[in-house]
Amino acid sequence: MIEIDGSFGEGGGQILRTSLSLSLITQTPFRLTNIRTRRKKPGLQRQHRTAVRAAVELGSAEVTGDELGSTVLEFRPGKVNPGDYRFAIGTAGSTSLVFQTVLMPLVLAGGRSKVIFEGGTHNTGAPPYDFVAKAFVPLINRMGGKVRVNLERHGFVPLGGGRWIAEIEGSRGLRPLELHGRGIIRESLVRALVSKLPDHIAEREIEAVRKALTLPAVQYGIERVDAAGSGNILLIEVRSDHVTEVFTGFGERGVPAERVAASAVDCATAYLNTAVPVGEHLADQLMLPIALAGAGSYTTLKPTLHATTNAEVIRRFLPIAFDFAFGDENCTVSAVTVSRPV
């Protein structure tokens, strides 16, 4: 059994999610201690427990310590079974983080799966559905995956109520990904989504982006969505020849629309001011797929602590290390096979 200290590095829920995915794929049990102990609410929260129980259901696994607030968990995997699943968080917890947990095990399991996710779809501190659909899933499919996603209903904090579906056709393996240039930016989309809120919020966000950011081939739009509760998110989508990136600003009570826009603009500006194809959040998401492919590399911005922590968790389960080669304004991240047996 692999022993993992959940307080090392970034110390967040990504350690748990990556461990669950790789435990199912490699059939290796693990024991995770100090789960999220440095967080304001330590231990397992609802979205983390849903991820654990999703992994248990996928792999007929045995688990102890999966109650809310638990800081110690033991997980013993069984064989992953493709099929039809429904995972409901019961709150506005992030469904995309549960998707992260089950995606790779189902991609590599063979057979077809249909997974329904219910809960939050656009959450602060987690990839929104649009990032999953526009930036991440297309690259998984380029590597040989066959994944389709469809959003049926938005879900914002605090009520949740969102619903989306992922259809996954199993693969025998993944191809390495080499992504070192984004090519020409073909189109940019700026969208402000609002549910049960005044239109002027979206209008102010759009106007703030117009004033602060120059985008090639840009289109602006306001989208009124019918979610269970009120909510708002600003999305800046940059479509290039070889990759699409999505940058977000999350509306929150008491936060002016201009500040929401500024958070998305700052992230987009950092990306556009360099020639890198992969933004900091996508860089983190790509580590597990290229490790499972056995090779691959991409050029990104300086990796976050979140990304380097994820790299270390992956190394505990797979004979793969990550090499970080720093340039003047970028970093090339490469998966490197090592001789240590799984």
Structural tokens at position 105: 């095990």
Catalytic residue among 122, 180, 242, 306: 306
pLDDT tens, position by position, 56-114: 999 999 999 999 999 999 999 999 999 999 999 988 889 999 999 999 999 999 899 99
The reply to whether 283 falls in a domain is no
What are the pLDDT digits (tens) for 22-60? 999 999 999 999 999 988 889 999 889 999 999 999 999
Helices 13-26 and 95-107, axial angle in degrees (round to 10): 20
First to last CA, the chain: 12
Residue 242 annotated to the active site: no
Q: How many domains does the chain have?
A: 2
Per-residue pLDDT at 262 exceeds 70:
yes
Helix ranges (DSSP H) in 27-128: 46-59, 95-107
Asked whether the predicted pLDDT for residue 340 surpasses 50, the reply is no
Chain length of the chain: 342
Decide if 280 is inside a domain: no
pLDDT bin (cut points 50, 70, 90) of residue 342 is very low
Query: What's the CA gap between 185 and 77, in Å, rounded?
Result: 43
Its pTM stands at 0.94
Q: How far is CA 261 from CA 122, 241, 250, 252, 258, in A?
A: 15, 26, 8, 12, 5
User: Do 193 and 155 contact (CB within 8 A), yes or no?
Assistant: no
Domain that holds residue 321: 2-176+294-337
Backbone φ and ψ of 153, nearest 5°: -155, 135
Instruction: Please tell me the number of Cα atoms within 13 Å of 164 on its side-chain side.
Output: 25
| Pair 191, 139 in one domain | no
Question: What are the pLDDT digits (tens) for 146-196?
Answer: 999 999 999 998 888 999 999 999 988 999 999 999 999 999 999 999 999
Question: Whole-angstrom Cα distance, residue 53 to residue 5?
Answer: 21
Q: Which two tokens stand for residue 197?
A: 């809120």
Span 311-318, mean pLDDT? 95
pLDDT recorded at residue 200: 95
| Average model confidence (pLDDT) across the chain | 94
Last residue of a domain, one of 215, 237, 272: 272
How far apart CA 35 and CA 13 sit, in angstroms, is 8
Same domain for 207 and 155, yes or no, is no
pLDDT at 251 (0 to 100): 93
The H-or-E segment that residue 333 falls in is strand 331-337
Supply the CATH number for residue 68's domain: 3.65.10.20
Residue 109 forms part of a structural domain: yes
Are residues 71 and 89 located together in one domain of the fold? Answer: yes
Which pLDDT does position 338 carry in this prediction? Answer: 63
Beta-carbon count within 10 A of 6 CB = 24
* Of residues 44, 81, 77, the one with CA closest to residue 62: 77
Q: Which helix (H) or strand (E) holds 297?
A: strand 296-300
Cα separation, 222 vs 206, in Å, equals 8
pLDDT value at position 32?
Answer: 97
Instruction: Give me the CATH number covering residue 220.
Output: 3.30.360.20
Token match 């607030």: residue?
69
Clarify whether residues 25 and 126 are in a common domain.
yes
Task: Assess if residue 228 is contained within a domain.
Answer: yes
